[in-house]
A and B are shown apart, each in its own frame.
Chain A
Amino acid sequence: MVFHLDKCIGCHTCSIACKNVWTDRRGAEYMWWNNVETKPGTGYPTKWEDQDKYQGGWKLNGSGGLDIRSTSKTKIVPNIFHNPHMPGMDDYYEPWTYDYQNLFNAPEGSDQPTAEPISMIDGEKIDVQSGPNWDDDLGGSPIYAENDPNLDGLTEQQRLQLSSVERLVFFYLPRICNHCLNPCCVASCPSGALYKRGEDGIVLIDQQKCRAWRSCVAACPYKKTYFNWFTGKSEKCILCFPRLETGQAPACFHSCVGRIRYLGVLLYDAERLEAVAKLPDDELVEGHRSLILDPHDPEVISEALENGVSEAVIESAQNSPVYRFVKEWRIALPPHIEYRTLPMLFYVPPMSPVQASRSEDTITHSSDNLFHDIDESRVPMKFLASLFGAGHEGVVRYALAKQKAVRWHRRAETVGDVDRETADRMLREADCSREEADAIYRLTSLCTFEDRFVIPPMHREQAIEMMKEPHEHREEAGFGFVGGPRRGL
């Protein structure tokens, strides 16, 4: 999966599509499997990136192994009754609706009846204090933007600049489950209810096996597993697998207005997973990238076939837009790789407005350094590096420089206000060829549905055929529960 942040307009269409399809149910009202955050901002649940508070993800232990930060195997036994790091509902928000009935039933009086907010949990009237996207578009605000955990690495001056009115800046960060290669939620489940699907890598929670120990909620550093308070089961993004299996893009991908989302197959070397997850922070991004195998390499193809990967999947991997963004062009980066879950959702970091430099009475945007607006951009590189580079700026600068070079290359090609020589110099400095720049441009700007979503057929019918008569299966199969997910008596 790739999310191209430079294209995200923060319209929340993805969130609504997901909410309508999956979480418009009792117990799930507060869940946003897909949410869009404003950065800098505190996000949802509030300050989810602050792992001193939430203790999510993995950490290296003294002997070079990986431990789950919240409840490692030794810690789960004494903490099984009360999970010490589980976020409560107030860390998200209390979902509410409005008392619309009052508009019809209110006794006659001298005032217009109003529909007051009432809690969707207990039906009591509530004073709404927070909600999803409460920090929407509030870049520079003192209670939201200034409390973004990613600002920790910034200097005092940089922080001040971020909140000064003339330099206010923000961008959007849409988030779904990353369907990690080394998922902490799976590893933390005492019941073994969470699992990764072998065929497509989707991480799911077996609702029959989940016994409400709540470890996954605390363990996921991205806070993308949620506890359904009504059914007593954890739930998470299922990457719309019923849609994927029939060749359709997930609802959030499908509905994306800015067309920022790309979905495709990546072949990876599972045997090196553990070694990569233990690399030092500054080698994680490259290590993660090195796990992804070249689907054109004959050796990889024959190995894959030998391991039972179907030809259709290999073909999809060869046409995968994700492979191009992540591996070929190296401009898509994993979020917070320092949590060591090896996320499989990659972000193309956003370009931000140029920081004007004032010389005497005129404001100029030019400089001898061709990439000055990246180095001096309004969103400090350190901030982006904290999000996408485990604190290291190199990989982020590479991705931004290449994006800028592509823009200037296209300007030289089509508008002509940039001379060819400068554009070529930029391409060279950004480690990009003209062909590559054109390819990036096409997949970024002119991409069709088929370019963005290259989904291989799942061949479930073949798997089913081996088990029983397909027509018989068709009559019996369906999603969901026969009796509905009810509890107790």
Chain B
Amino acid sequence: MNAPILDTFLFVALPYVCLFTFLLMTIHRYRAQSFSYSSLSSQFLENRLHFWAVVPFHYGILAVTAGHLIAFLIPRGILVWNSHPLRLYVLEISALACGLLTLIGLGGLLVRRAMTSRLRRVTTVTDWILFGMLLVQTAGGVAIAVFRPWGSSWFASNLSPYLWSVLMLNPDLSYVTGMPILVRAHIVLAFVIIGFFPFTRLVHLLVIPNPYLWRKPQVVRWYGRR
């Protein structure tokens, strides 16, 4: 009885609240707090574990996020790819491997921050909340990959339409109501993280320095002329 109301809140209201927060606050923060629009690098304070934690985490999460994004954008392509069992296995296993890589890297990051007293000084409460959320989300993702396999297919067939329906401002709950609790939690937390995004160090992924590869090496600024 309560379920539909809860569902409406979790899968209709919450996504919109989070998406709008994301949209407004990222722009607002860029305009108002441009100084802190980056991740506070701690490589300077701890240079050894940094490599073993940061690198696997970033490569892992980039691959996993790209996977989600592709399944969201071209679900048909994924389904066609998965029509052959061997290709499905390859996709599932590499996705799981990337998920584990992320999880290991994230674990390393947390241990590194918790164990090094220098690093605790540069870790804010916001950081800890974010790390907690990412840890739960990644662990949940890996758990789904293990206990609810063939996610690449059912994401493409069921979740992608739901996400598109949210994006098209015509949310269709029928796709998610029947989903297992693990998957539903993953979806909800994903939206929460998106909403939390502009308040955290995650904003650094919006300022990836793309013009660098094309600009001239030297930069000169003039005051009065040119």
Contact = CB atoms under 8 A, between A and B. Distances in A.
Interface in A41-92: 73, 76-77, 81-84, 86-90
Contacts of B36: 232, 486-488
B211 interface: yes
Nearest to A245: B223
B47 A211 contact: no
Contact of A213 (B59, B117, B209): B209
B212 A73 contact: yes
A187 B218 contact: yes
Contacts of A212: 38-41, 204
Given A191-B209, A196-B221, 8 more contacts: A73-B213, A82-B50, A86-B43, A89-B118, A191-B212, A197-B222, A212-B39, A230-B122
Interface in A270-317: 308
A121 B118 contact: yes
B34 to A, nearest CB: 5
8 contacts: A121-B45, A121-B121, A195-B221, A207-B35, A211-B38, A232-B41, A460-B223, A487-B35
Nearest to A30: B44
A124 to B, nearest CB: 6
B42 A229 contact: yes
Interface in A192-231: 192, 194-199, 207-208, 210-214, 217, 227, 229-231
A196 B219 CA distance: 6
Contacts, number: 132
Contacts of B51: 82, 84
Nearest to A194: B219
A87 to B, nearest CB: 8
Contact of A195 (B200, B207, B219): B219
Contacts of A214: 41, 43-44
Contacts of A106: none
Contacts of B35: 207-208, 231, 481, 485-487
Contacts of B117: 122, 124
A462 B224 contact: yes
B217 interface: yes
B220 interface: yes
**Residue of B50, B200, B209 contacting most chain A CB atoms (<10 Å):** B209
A457 to B, nearest CB: 13
Nearest to A210: B38
Interface of B: 34-47, 50-51, 54-55, 58-59, 117-118, 120-122, 124, 126, 199-201, 204, 207, 209, 211-213, 215, 217-226
B37 A88 contact: no
Contact of B54 (A82, A122, A217): A82
Contact of B126 (A82, A122, A488): A488
Contacts of B122: 229-230
Q: Which of A186, A308, A463, A487 has most chain B Cβ within 10 Å?
A: A487
B214 to A, nearest CB: 9
Contacts of A415: none
A313 to B, nearest CB: 12
A363 interface: no
A106 B68 CA distance: 59
Nearest to A66: B217
A190 B209 CA distance: 5
A489 interface: yes
A466 interface: yes
A237 B50 CA distance: 28
Nearest to B212: A190
B119 to A, nearest CB: 9
A211 B209 contact: yes
A21 B35 CA distance: 22
Max chain B C-beta neighbours (<10 A), residue from A76, A229, A485: A229
A198 B58 contact: no
A183 interface: yes
A182 interface: yes
Interface of A: 73, 76-77, 81-84, 86-90, 119, 121-122, 124, 182-183, 186-187, 189-192, 194-199, 207-208, 210-214, 217, 227, 229-232, 308, 459-460, 462-463, 466, 481, 485-489
A191 B219 contact: no
Contacts of B40: 212, 232, 487-488
A195 B34 contact: no
Contacts of B215: 192
A207 B34 CA distance: 10
B43 A82 contact: yes
Interchain residue pairs A-B with the least CB separation, the first 10: A190-B209, A88-B47, A463-B224, A187-B217, A198-B222, A232-B40, A211-B38, A195-B219, A487-B36, A122-B117
Contacts of A213: 41, 209
A186 B219 CA distance: 7
Nearest to A459: B224
A232 to B, nearest CB: 4
Contact of B38 (A122, A232, A308, A481): A232
A161 to B, nearest CB: 37
Contacts of A459: 224
Contact of A83 (B38, B42, B43, B223): B43
Nearest to B219: A195
Contacts of B223: 197-199, 460, 463
Nearest to B51: A82
A399 B120 CA distance: 52
Nearest to B216: A187
B224 to A, nearest CB: 4
A270 to B, nearest CB: 9
Contacts of A208: 34-35
B218 A186 contact: yes
A166 B18 CA distance: 75
Contacts of A191: 207, 209, 212
B200 to A, nearest CB: 8
Nearest to B120: A122
Contacts of B225: 308
B224 A183 contact: no
Contact of B44 (A86, A183, A186, A462): A86
A183 B54 contact: no
A121 B47 CA distance: 16
B219 A488 contact: no
Nearest to A92: B44
Given A198-B223, A232-B39, A89 B201 contact: no
Contacts of A229: 42, 44-45, 122
